[in-house]
Chain A
Amino acid sequence: MSNIIKQLSIFVNNEPGRLAHISSVLKECGINMRAFNLAESTEFGILRAIVDDPDMAYDALKNKGIVVKKTDVIGVYLVDTPGALFDAADALGKASINIEYGYAYSYKDKAIFFIRVDDPEKAVEVIGKEGIRLVSESEI
């Protein structure tokens, strides 16, 4: 059971209708998006998405000529108490693991923090040692 999750990173031109086009490709193949985040500059953006079938979504997007990459991220369960984010971030900081970016997803009483770090394998090990629960690939 792997705790490293495949995220799709998609290059999006900052023009009307581009995001609609990408989501329509995913819709056509019945792909469900669990969480996503959009980083933007003036003329383009990077769409990062956690989907239920990353391999199939990757192929479908690529076939449509969309620039897409698979990126490894980890998902940290955050318990609904003050300091939950601190525990995870502090563990990574002490281990000198750098967080490039992150985004949160919450559903009912669950909250997950998806983070991109420079060394995902080491991050899994460090966070595991702190007793913090990580999302496994099969849970997506």
Chain B
Amino acid sequence: MFWNPKIECMPQEELKKLQYEELKTLITKLYESNQFYRERMDSKGVKPEDIKCIEDISKLPFMFKQDLRDNYPTKMFTVPNNQIVRYHVSSGTTGKPTLVGYTENDIGYWTEALARSLTSAGVGPEDVLQVCYGYGLFTGGLGLHYGGEKVGATVLPASTGNSERQIELMIDLDVTAIACTPSYFIHLMDVAKKMGVDIRKDTKLRVAFLGAEPWSESMKKKIEDETGIETFDIYGTSEQAGPMFTECECHNGIHIPSDIMYVEVIDPDTEEVLGPGQKGELVVTMLKKEAFPLVRYRIKDMTEIITEPCPCGRTSPRIARITGRADDMLIIRGINVFPSQIEYTLMQIPQVGDQYMIYVTRDGALDNMKIQVEIKPEAFSDNMDEMLKLRHHIESALKKYLNIAVTVELKAPGELPRFEGKAKRVIDNRVI
């Protein structure tokens, strides 16, 4: 199923031509009218006429999150304020928040991207889509809302929280699709269980769009095995517009519509552009954005580009599951550790439940990592030896995968914090 077959299945060569035309128009306009971007280009000695094909994009300078903060609130905008139809504000956990503005067309392409994504996952007019992303300043709720309505689905704007009511509505309204963070979905699974509701038998839930935070392949498997639903990884950040891109029914990477966004992956240290299949930092260029530019933006998400043709017929490149943010990377005794690696390892151990917390401390000159893990009720043994063996088993599995020794603490189900929005599972208490 395609929303826009002409563009989604366009031959590579035509797509490249299209991307080149969009980029050239964008850069020319920016150079002429946007002081920030002209100065950035001049500092690198690049002129719009130096861009002669889409690959020339690598000549252009990067943009950083800090640029958005430095130009807060609207100094980066390229259209007069009367053309802005909406603002969203990102949470800004470090320093100033970032403001994103949208023209009517920006909302249109955002919605178009989601309409293509939802259709590729088989969601259409017959579906009831429960949107449990936050509505408000966060882009998740309204983004999925518009996308859902666009494909003709019935949208239930449930937002986050009030989880028992979420489950009741899911049953009463025959909800077939849901969109939320993976950690909130796991929380909903917990709540359903406590209410005596079996998601597999008592609801019509068929698909879930989970994203807005990194999650692992083994977490996906666990959710699918327990609930019998099909999960789709969804990607998109507020700078790009909001959640926009998903996997198709083939589940082999997130499709990135070539006419909307151009993706590169670079080595974060050398800034060299990497080839398909090489893991690095994602760099994005929004080709159609009007309100404010995003050219070679260092989004800090770690992934790789997949270019092998997808059996679904879409010709766009894909990106692999986001394995973490460059910012999330922890350096423990000199070794790089991504929280997603810890999750991946934990979720493969059958006795381990869905929740974990990571604590990092520094004692003297030594970093220590402690991981609290909820175990499943059925993994509990009356025999202390067995319990200590389980703890040791988890510690060894982590050590083997991460190459650092960690301390594991076993916790009873329900003891660790639950998250309704983005999960915050890493507490770094190091004072450096």
Q: Which residues of A contact B (CB under 8 A)?
A: 9, 11-13, 39, 41-44, 46, 48, 65-67, 69, 71, 100-101, 116
Contact = CB atoms under 8 A, between A and B. Distances in A.
A13 B387 contact: no
Interface in B349-380: 372, 377, 380
Interface residues of B, number: 18
B329 interface: no
Interface of B: 194, 372, 377, 380-384, 387-388, 391, 409-415
A67 B384 contact: no
Contact of B412 (A66, A69, A116): A66
Given A11-B412, A13-B415, A67-B377, A41 B382 contact: no
A69 B388 contact: no
Given A43-B409, A100-B383, 16 more contacts: A9-B380, A11-B412, A13-B411, A13-B415, A41-B384, A41-B388, A43-B411, A44-B412, A65-B194, A66-B412, A67-B377, A67-B412, A67-B413, A69-B381, A101-B384, A116-B382
Contacts, number: 42
A41 B387 CA distance: 9
Contact of A46 (B377, B382, B414): B382
User: A44, A48, A71 — which one has the most chain B CB atoms within 10 A of its CB?
Assistant: A44
B377 A71 contact: no
A71 B194 CA distance: 25
Contacts of A9: 380, 382
Nearest to A14: B409
Contact of B387 (A46, A66, A100, A101): A46
A61 to B, nearest CB: 11
A71 B382 contact: yes
A73 to B, nearest CB: 9
A20 to B, nearest CB: 15
A103 B194 CA distance: 35
Contact of B411 (A44, A71, A116): A44
Contacts of A41: 384, 387-388, 391
Contacts of B413: 65, 67
Contact of B382 (A12, A43, A48, A65): A48
B409 A67 contact: no
Nearest to B413: A67
Contact of A13 (B377, B381, B388, B412): B412
A41 B383 CA distance: 12
B186 to A, nearest CB: 16
A71 B380 CA distance: 12
B382 A69 contact: yes
A100 B387 CA distance: 14
Contacts of A44: 387, 409-412
